[in-house]
Amino acid sequence: MVLDAFSVRVALGVVTVTLLVLFCTSFHRTRSPYAGWWSLALMEFMVGNAAFLLNGSPHQQWANPLGNVLVVAGAFSVWAGARSLRDLKAVPWQLAVGPAVTALASILENPGTNVWSGGMVYLAMMTAGIALAAKDLWLIKASHSQVHKALSLAAGLLAAYYLGRWVVYVLEGPGGETFRTYFGPGPSGLVSMVLLVTVSFSMTALTSDQLIKGLKERAARDHLTGLLNRGTFLDLATTELNRLHSTGSGAAVVLADLDHFKAVNDEYGHGAGDVALRAFAEACAASVRSTDLIGRYGGEEFILFLPGATQDRAESIATEISRRMAATPTPDGVAFPTISYGVTSSIPAGADLTFMIEVADAALYSAKAQGRNRIVGADRLEAAIIADEARS
């Protein structure tokens, strides 16, 4: 029995409209990127399948290519949504190339008389878009829900189905009995309907996981600079230092303080002070490795934890931060403050983080006492203390 393609497409349209209304509401409430992409995909699927309903009418000339393009665009929007769950973005040209190639192929194959104009390219692009979505869904690192694995398998099965459609289309064409029975518009519409409902149901868990991840990230970071807040920094640095000591490695700690920061606020206003804090945070981020930790320790004081770094290396990084800060363009009439640093490092079986911070703080205090705008390492601080004791 061959399913009635028109009836299946009408049913698919009704289901799609219902889901679109539900998830446009969800996107309006949560502003989740994935919900936005999924809502866009549903809209593209809805309008594309509505265009196919005009096959056999005088409008087929433009409606058929339009339907092909929009349905393919929907598949690539699903892929973009899957990438958003991995905090990745799809490049615009990557989203456009599939629909563009489909449009060209459809226009070149007499869409006014051929309802399968561009069919081979259409099926290939659908396979590619859904397969890419399946891959990115599988690679999601979700902490609260593993539903993305099941969703990835569902997308993979749909990609395999479209690949089967493409193979049979190439071998026997759209008029073949196997194609019409198992891979024609009717069966494919039924498969799409089931998967649309399945994907939409799973989206709630995926969106919740994304929102929880975002809330955790915001709670762990300083809202002004985007750096780790003090509590999160100390937790992460303590864990990392314990790991380093267990493997016989060490680390360095840098405490930094913006000199005469209160004067910047008093003279130029708190807006200028905020700009200076953000500029310093950006200078820090540009000077360290991705494995290093940077935190706002309090007010205008910052802290860096550098796994595996020697004291000399840590002092070189402090120098680079100051260089970048000095090279940062400032608002008209505003002068950014200089920076004082206290630096220390641990030995493989050395002190805990609290002691390292105390030593770095003493070195920072010495830097301020010596006139600010300088780097004082714990080794030089110790030498200065010994010299003072000798003179006394």
| pLDDT value of residue 390 | 43
Does residue 389 have an active-site annotation?
no
Cα→Cα distances 48→62, 388, 391, Å? 12, 82, 87
| pLDDT value of residue 200 | 63
Whole-angstrom Cα distance, residue 252 to residue 347?
A: 9
Q: What length does the chain have?
A: 392
pLDDT tens-digit profile of 54-105?
888 899 999 999 999 998 998 999 899 888 878 788 888 999 999 999 999 9
One-letter amino acid of 390: A
**Contact present, 227 and 294 (Cβ < 8 Å):** yes
Sign of CA dihedral 253, 258, 260, 262: negative
| pLDDT value of residue 217 | 62
Sign of CA dihedral 346, 349, 355, 357: positive
| pLDDT value of residue 151 | 79
**Contact present, 195 and 261 (Cβ < 8 Å):** no
- CB proximity list for 248: less than 8 A, separation 6 or greater: 348, 349
| pLDDT value of residue 138 | 87
Q: Mean pLDDT in each 10-residue stretch from start to end of the chain (392 residues)?
A: 56 64 56 75 82 87 93 91 83 93 95 92 94 88 65 86 92 88 75 66 60 62 89 90 86 95 89 93 93 92 93 94 93 88 77 88 92 87 49 47
**Contact present, 197 and 19 (Cβ < 8 Å):** yes
Whole-angstrom Cα distance, residue 163 to residue 183?
A: 10
Residue 342 forms beta bridges with which residues?
A: 255, 376
- The secondary structure of residue 229, as a DSSP letter, is P
Residue 29 forms beta bridges with which residues?
A: none
The per-residue b/e assignment along 71-97, b for 16 or more CB within 10 angstroms, e otherwise, is: bbbbbbbbbbbbbbbeeeebeeeebee
pTM of the complete model: 0.56
pLDDT tens-digit profile of 78-91?
899 888 878 788 88
Q: Out of 172, 300, 315, 320, pick the active-site residue.
A: 300
